[in-house]
Structure 1
Amino acid sequence: MERLQKVIAKSGITSRRKAEKLIEKGLVEVNGKTVTELGTKVSEQDEVKVEGVPIEKEKHLYFLFYKPRGVITSVSDNKNRKTVIDYFEEYQERIYPVGRLDYDTSGLIILTNDGDFTNLLLHPSHEFNKEYVIKTKGIPSKEKLQLFKKGIRSEGDLLKAKYVKTMSVDPQKKTAIIKLVLHQGKNRQIRRMFEAIGTPVQKLKREKFGFLTLDGLMPGEHRELTPHEIAELKKLAK
């Protein structure tokens, strides 16, 4: 069950805010009855009409996208910066990103128009492994990296990693390549963690989400998730 205004907005005919105004004006019907309550919830089986015209139920879409650096994980940006949605202009459906990657972070992100699927993937109790590769300015010691497993306090949050390992170091350039796995998804989490131990992030890339990888994709490219992948993600979440 979803709120009526959300269902109308997902159909693509108007925004959620304008859908609320249409409901309040008595211009929306559910199963032949006029509805004016904004809290009304409907299911996929209910027939919804806006100004006498039945809305078309949107086909669910699921994409895996290789987000380049310098792209906003949002459906729009008030500074006119490029967003992930700009790479999906051929689709009429109102898709949106599941979670976020920072502006300067590249890598794997899922986009969809399935709200239930989004909630499954983002719910805190569903601990999907998110694997990142980080290039640091400075070479963190093994002891400092192990602090990530215990948790580091930053701006009131306890930031933790599930797994962390140094993959390589460059003593001349004083940089290191680190692999790290998170379950959490706090804002700028990885950058905050490495800043806290004195080795700030130079580059950051998400390479995996659960069992999904970027294999076969270049930055800016996407592919549809297969029915099997969608089913497996739902199974893992539940």
Structure 2
Amino acid sequence: MERLQKVIAYAGVASRRKAEELILEGKVKVNGKVVRELGTKVSSSDTVEVNGVKLEKEDKVYFLLYKPRGVISAVTDDKGRKTVTDLFKKHVQERIFPVGRLDYDTSGLLLLTNDGEFANLITHPKYKIDKTYIARVKGIPTIENLKKLQRGIKLEDGKTAPAKVSMTTFDEKANKAIVEITIHEGRNRQVRRMFDAIGTPVVKLKRERLAFLDLTGLSTGEYRELTKHEVKLLRVLAETGKID
């Protein structure tokens, strides 16, 4: 089940805010009845009409993108910057959107889909889908500070969940290190803020893996479609916490 305004936005009819206005104005019907409640939820079997026009149901599609740095994880950008969906426009007809986000200056693995239910399974913290990052940091984290990251560290929006952390290399002369960190939350700029909190700011950040998926075979800016089996495994992993 998805909120009605979200379904309208995903269909590309209007932004979520505009969709809310349309609902309040009585211009949206669900199964033939006008709906004015913003909290209304609908399923894929419901028929939704906006201004008398029925929303077409698209086939569900799922993509894995090697996101470059300098690209926005959004469908549109009011500043005119390049978005991740711009990388698909010539070859993908469906109205896809990013599953979660990677910062403008972060590269790596990002999923895109038009399946809102699937996106929620991947992004909601309660499903604990692992996301692994490679961080190049300024300074060399102490063992104690790495343990702080592992246990969870206090940020302005609360303590982070426990993480898996390991320092892969360090250079005392250059005063820098490379650290691998795995989290399942997705707060805004979370990894960067975690390293800021221990005094070793991130210089470069890349998401290397999501669950069992990685970037094998892709160069920056390239993408591939997920297989049906991969989509099924991700659903099973989110719903059960494990895959055989």
Alignment partners' CA distance in 2, 1:24 and 1:48: 15
1:151 and 1:159 in contact (8 A); partners too: yes
Q: 1:188 to 1:118 in 2, by over 3 A?
A: same
Q: 1:142 to 1:3 in 2, by over 3 A?
A: closer
The one-letter code matched in structure 2 to 1:187 is: N
For 1:121, the equivalent position in structure 2 comes to: 122
Alignment partners' CA distance in 1, 2:86 and 2:196: 32
1:72 and 1:102 in contact (8 A); partners too: yes
For 2:59, the equivalent position in structure 1 comes to: 59
Cα-Cα RMSD? 2.3
Aligned residue pairs: how many?
Answer: 237
For 2:242, the equivalent position in structure 1 comes to: none
Q: 1:210 to 1:172 in 2, by over 3 A?
A: same
**Shift in Å at residue 115 of structure 1?**
0.8
Alignment partners' CA distance in 1, 2:35 and 2:190: 42
**Shift in Å at residue 18 of structure 1?**
5.0
For 2:108, the equivalent position in structure 1 comes to: 107
% identical equivalent positions: 55
Unaligned stretches of 5+ residues in structure 1: none
Alignment partners' CA distance in 1, 2:75 and 2:54: 26
Alignment partners' CA distance in 2, 1:152 and 1:20: 37
For the pair 1:169 / 2:170, whether they are aligned, the reply is yes
Q: 1:171 to 1:59 in 2, by over 3 A?
A: same
Q: Secondary structure at the match of 1:125?
A: helix
TM-score (norm 1): 0.88
**155-164 or 174-183: bigger deviation:** 155-164
TM-score (norm 2): 0.86
Q: Secondary structure at the match of 1:89?
A: coil
**Shift in Å at residue 22 of structure 1?**
5.3
Alignment partners' CA distance in 2, 1:54 and 1:199: 53
Unaligned stretches of 5+ residues in structure 2: 240-244
The one-letter code matched in structure 1 to 2:185 is: Q
Q: 1:117 to 1:140 in 2, by over 3 A?
A: same
Alignment partners' CA distance in 2, 1:200 and 1:51: 50
